Amino acid sequence: MEVTIRAYDPRDAADLADVFFRSVRQVALSDYTAAQVRAWAPDPRTAEWAHGEASDGRLVLVAANADDRPVAYIDLEPDGHIDRVFCAPEAAGQGIASRLYDAVEAAAREQGITSLFTEASELARRLFERKGFAVVDRQDMVIRGVAIHNYRMAKDLDLAAPLPAWSGSRLRTGPPTCPFRTIATPGEPATVAP
């Protein structure tokens, strides 16, 4: 699949909501149970939800197919937090998530961000480890009454390293990833509110 990496546009909101839901409910089944993915994403998200998340000051990059419809996306908050990386099932396993990550890291370097951090699902953990992240710790939590886990991960950036280019690049398509954010009290399982 050939995709173009570009910045989020408000017209992408419904597609991002769809990519999120289908990524969690279908792709995440490779590492989580059906009960866990239902707890994580019990219902489809709305375009309004996706647009609200994408227009709060974070950078959102999408991988758009030949019809200019997003099949994957990643975000970067101003503090270096990568909150979301999701890939639609039909685009999974083709290198798209990897290329999106490379583009977001390039943007982080351009902004002078010195470290990146995320909360990664099982699948996302493997992608982030390939990109040089280290696991800080495993977070066990309960979402809607179902036990689930993710990994806090971090990476220091060498700002002297060359910047990979991303702007408008055509790409051949990566492992889908599904990080989710939590708040935890040390020593206790984290809880994610609905």
Instruction: Give Cβ neighbours of residue 173 (< 8 Å, ≥ 6 apart).
Output: 1, 2, 3, 63, 71, 91, 94, 95, 96, 99
With helix as H, strand as E and coil as C, how does 19-56 read? HHHHHHHCHHHHCCCHHHHHHHCCCCCCHHHHHHHHCC
- In this prediction, residue 82 carries a pLDDT of 98
Q: How many CB atoms lie within 10 A of CB 159?
A: 12
Q: Has this prediction a pTM greater than 0.85?
A: no
Q: What is the pLDDT of residues 110-152, one digit of tens each?
A: 999 999 999 999 999 999 999 999 999 999 999 999 999 999 9
Q: Which two tokens stand for residue 183?
A: 């708040």
Average pLDDT over residues 86-97: 96
Q: How far is CA 2 from the centre of its chain?
A: 20
Q: Which two tokens stand for residue 192?
A: 């994610």
Average pLDDT over residues 11-27: 97
Quote the mean pLDDT of the chain. Answer: 86
Q: What is the pLDDT of residues 20-35, one digit of tens each?
A: 999 999 999 999 999 9
Q: What is the pLDDT of residues 164-180, one digit of tens each?
A: 554 443 332 332 333 33
- At 158, the pLDDT band (50, 70, 90 cuts) reads confident
Nearest of 144, 81, 125, 82 to residue 73 by alpha carbon:
82
- In this prediction, residue 161 carries a pLDDT of 67
Cβ–Cβ under 8 Å, residues 112 and 134: no
Q: Which two tokens stand for residue 188?
A: 């206790």
